[in-house]
Amino acid sequence: MSFVFPVVFGHRGAKAVEIENTIEAFRYACQSGVRWVELDAMLSKDKQPVVFHDETLDRLSGVHARLDQLTLKELKEVSLINDRRIPTLDEVLDCLNGYDGGVNIEIKPSCRQAERETAQKVWQVVRQKGFDDPKRVFFSSFAWDSLEEIGKIAPHIKRGLLLEDLRPDWRFFARKIQAYSINCDARLLTVSLINEIKKAGYRLMAYTVNDPAQAVYLYRHGVDGFFCDDPVSMIEVLKNVQRL
């Protein structure tokens, strides 16, 4: 697979179709022709990378605990909605390997102190699983120390800077880490910001875009890609849209 930056990433697998960040979600995406998925990687108490979005287990399981307070063994006993389980990063990469899929790993430290270690542990698994290939993986994070760390350990893998607000120093930091892309909350994107980011030479990704009209508008104005909860539908929507 050559590195073709996809227009549509399956957000947390396919969050609108299967329980987010589960093996079932990634398998569904792959079997439905979605070549690239996004996932959130966080560390358990015993520092094992697992694929999960929230700092706490409440929303998806009803268990009142922080994810980083439970060991991998304990997390494996947690039943999510529809009796789904929390997968390890290792298990998800095995699944993607079965389909030759690509992955955007969002490094999601559970707290400030875990930013560098989460990047290190994620990279260990990525290497063990043979995903240390710029054609199959790229990293992103809201956590600047995680991005700096992964850039040091794996400079050959592309990095995306996630933006949830427009703090004034993001431009400086994006240059500093030699970001490949800016992965921006779609609600922040104006035509002028899109133009600025593209002129600066970055790829531009928008999250989370589920409204077809919004996706078409942003794509026509230069956004390169989208994180979508129903990636199969969005691929259909965007397939014949031309840039302005």
- Give residues in contact with ligand G3P (CB under 6 A): 11, 38, 40, 53, 106, 140, 162, 183, 207-208, 227
Q: Which lies closer to ligand G3P via its Cβ, residue 111 or residue 128?
A: 111
φ, ψ of residue 71 to 5 degrees: the values are -75, 170
φ, ψ of residue 126 to 5 degrees: the values are -55, -45
Return the one option of Mg ion, ligand G3P, none that residue 162 interacts with (CB less than 5 to 8 A, by type).
Answer: ligand G3P
Q: Which lies closer to ligand G3P via its Cβ, residue 106 or residue 148?
A: 106
Of 83-122, binders to Mg ion (CB under 5 A) are 106
Q: To the nearest whole angstrom, how small is the minimum distance from the Cβ of residue 27 to Mg ion? A: 18
How does DSSP classify residue 70? S
Return the one option of ligand G3P, Mg ion, none that residue 183 interacts with (CB less than 5 to 8 A, by type).
Answer: ligand G3P
Q: To the nearest whole angstrom, how small is the minimum distance from the Cβ of residue 164 to ligand G3P? A: 7
Burial class of residue 135, CB neighbours in 10 A (0-12, 13-18, 19+): exposed
Q: Which lies closer to ligand G3P via its Cβ, residue 74 or residue 233?
A: 233
Q: Which lies closer to ligand G3P via its Cβ, residue 229 or residue 242?
A: 229
**In the set 18, 20, 24, 40, which binds Mg ion (CB under 5 A)?**
40
Q: To the nearest whole angstrom, how small is the minimum distance from the Cβ of residue 11 to ligand G3P? A: 6
Q: How far apart are CA 163 and CA 141, in angstroms?
A: 9
Binding-site size for Mg ion (CB under 5 A) equals: 2
Q: Which lies closer to Mg ion via its Cβ, residue 106 or residue 148?
A: 106
Q: To the nearest whole angstrom, how small is the minimum distance from the Cβ of residue 240 to ligand G3P? A: 25
Q: Of all residues in this chain, which one has the CB nearest to ligand G3P in the complex?
A: 207
Name the site residues for Mg ion (rule: CB under 5 A). Answer: 40, 106
